[in-house]
Amino acid sequence: MSDLQSIKKRIQSIGDTRKITNAMYLISSAKMRKAKADLDRTRPYFEAMRTEIKRIFRSGELPENRFLYPLDENEKVTGTYACLLITGDKGLAGSYNYNVIKRAYELVEAGNDIKWYVVGEYGRHYFAQHGIPIEQSFLYTAQNPTMHRAREICDILLEGYYAGTFKKIYVAYTDMKGMVDEAQVTRLIPFHRSQFATSAGEKPVVNPFEYAPSPSAVLRSIMPGYISGFIYSALVDSFCSEQHARMVAMKAANDSAEELMSRLQVEYNRLRQAAITQEITEIAAGARARGQQGD
């Protein structure tokens, strides 16, 4: 009987846990849809900005600019680099946080001197546990990416870039391509001019525009907005990827719970049937004993 009671309690416990994991799955699904909708509403603005940057490059003047590699792209840009690392605030998302930290740390393994800027509670704890200094930690939650926060991050990073504290800025984040989460490290600035080249199948940018006071001045003016947009996109992509990874993890937990409960239910039924059979056998034996005594 004790085995029956313990199995019954375990089935109930697993059922309660499954309710929690299923609720987390539904919450992550709703958050991901909302974040993707927010990104889709802002994406056209930044795509238009990218188009205008392409138009500037076709203005007849290839402007020298601090945001771009030198015209001689063989010239190396060396020195200290900054890396904005975007992680989540929570676990229970599979290998989401571990993968992006591992990719970001490839910059150090390549021999670069990195100043770390971290978004997300998980990243802060990881760096603290491993004794890795952080240049600045953005304490607001990674769960609610906004354009305002992206601009704040952009201003801080550009301040160090303008001051010459570092020569390049990288962003380590997770991009959800289709239904696959891919951790990646992207060089934010300086840009290669080839990043704004017209790709195959893309509608070419026509150019009879005049830029005042100059194409270089216009480019310097719009680049911070473009960079803010990239950071916002990275924040939202990371948030969507985290929710998707949590959905996958919670679905796996639900499936495991279903399988375990099914096995336990079979075991419970087997033990219960054995107990009933034993009781019937004992009753039948007792009845036969009484009958023999009566004879």
pLDDT single digits (tens) 236-275: 888 888 888 888 888 888 888 888 888 888 888 888 888 7
Comparison of pLDDT for 39 and 99, the residue scoring more: 99
Of residues 82 and 282, which shows the higher confidence score?
82
Structure confidence at residue 84 (pLDDT): 92
Which backbone phi and psi does 137 adopt, to 5 degrees?
-115, 125
User: What CA–CA distances, in Å, run from 50 to 175, 196, 280, 289?
Assistant: 20, 7, 81, 95
**How open is the CA angle 215-196-164, to the nearest 5 degrees?**
70
How many angstroms separate the CA atoms of 275 and 49, rounded? 75
pLDDT at residue 202 tops 70:
no
Cα–Cα distance list, 261 to 9, 10, 139 (Å): 11, 9, 41
Stretch 75-98: mean pLDDT, rounded? 81
Is the CB of residue 169 less than 8 Å from the CB of residue 188? yes
